[in-house]
Structure 1
């Protein structure tokens, strides 16, 4: 990368490049978001970023292969530069880091963060999914090094830039990878301050699944809003702790060290822009299911095991019941013979009664025969 391009990067706050400081822009105020297009015409274009990704309206594209970071983990011994440009914290990256999985090879330039204000209002990320924002967002910027000699030449071309968008949510656990940045923010509290930090594995900041993402053509999210970005927004979120987010939201100032009025650097995210008939493609289908965390996978495995144990108990109970029923049937089939034996005494009594009756009848008959002889 030549010296001119390197100098320009020092004034590249997030996803923008201020060619001159004649017009000082902000997220709110006199030259806030609603006034950007008056001073930077491309900010009023029809292919602006960020956008709201409505998942039911995305189009599956099987040609979208997993993205491949090249050299992200091979940081070597050369330190990174961390810089407060008054709009965000920028980490400059060596141009031998690059990104594969796109139509061209894109060399890394820098990465930066967007966040909210730590208040009750929910927001901080630039992109949203189904209208829901995350607490923060990480962008990793690359330029098309196959077609253009440097960043300054590529940034105005429609196929000149490629940016990775990573949505950040909060949880209880600390993310060690993000501490490589957050732990040094106290050294660049004011605008225009710079510090060298130890190099680290940049890929550790990314989601584990680099194959599930949304793709669309858009723009830089800050002035001059060049519409030259191939966006890849990952479906999987990255988690940091609440303490890490709070430090990010409250430690930096957008004002310079000598300014009498300190201004906290907060809410440095742009509102979502209209799609204007642009298509948002997905590298995965809805049928492939949502991304599962390791905890969710563990819960599913435990649930399946418990279900198998429960099923085995039920089957055992059914078999035991069937066997018990079969034994009862055998006993029932034997009972008529037992009843037959129980009725034998009754038959003997009936026979005796019949013999008594017969004897009585014979006696009566003899009496009748003798009765005429005994008459006077």
Structure 2
């Protein structure tokens, strides 16, 4: 029995889309992206989903909602008439008393009002005490009902140039059925014993990057700038064996503390090794790589153009040496060396006169790895690299790169 779901994306929307499709491909789901919206994906599946299990694997998705109605005959051209929805025939059980919210993912106030009036009339007819609340993604779902609405149009149709677009304008009504547990990330970020604020990627971002890494489970993945062990922990929880390298021994000790804590708290079966070494020279055997490297000196304010250019040139030399060493060690171990995958974050600078200073084109053309074609491999209209939402207060901008 086929089913249709709306995946609502968090703040890093393009990265979240890539994570969803990566997970679905890795798990060999039979699916089709029906609508590719700015802040959501509508996906049809051949079978019913275990939404809670899938939600636990996704770090960039804030809701999964199951579509329960697609009113016929509602298009952009005739939307000025009332929606013709018989709520009595919907496969939803309403208790005698509950709270509910209605929210359009397209910020369509007219659609929200139409649907609200339908529900209001239905609840009044059956003397159901239903209290409408203000919508917020911070609200818990469960006993309350959260209804999400999507209106398909030319701009968000996944195949707008085909006959499938003849139904553009149809309305999708969905009920939220799964949401992430924010306490998991809070616990990882706050309860780990060793924390270094200048050497830490968020666990949410680390999980997304590990999910995008297209390496078979059980293989060995390396983080060559492991810091306090965030990627190591997420890789182990995913099902990889992990190698962590850092040039600073205190950070290796911090990783050991955090890994011992994570093993006791969450449990994992994979093996790991922590090595104090220079990642531009050390030898290792690995099948994939995920990391956020050294990004240059800490900046308290935006640099001028001359300083930004000088700093990025220094980083280019360091990164070039690192990537040359990486390709030797990845290829020496990989059974599919032409597809050895790297997911990483690299910096660029915004200057105090609002100019951008990126790693040069020459740097990327000389790399032994090439950017993955995201549209070809994942069916998403995304460019590689992907802009990453820079943490508040950071003077360094970031992009996520996927190489092979």
Tell me the TM-score range normalised by the shorter chain. under 0.3
- With normalisation by structure 1, the TM-score equals 0.19
Q: Which has more radius of gyration?
A: 1
Q: Which structure shows the higher strand fraction?
A: 2
- With normalisation by structure 2, the TM-score equals 0.18
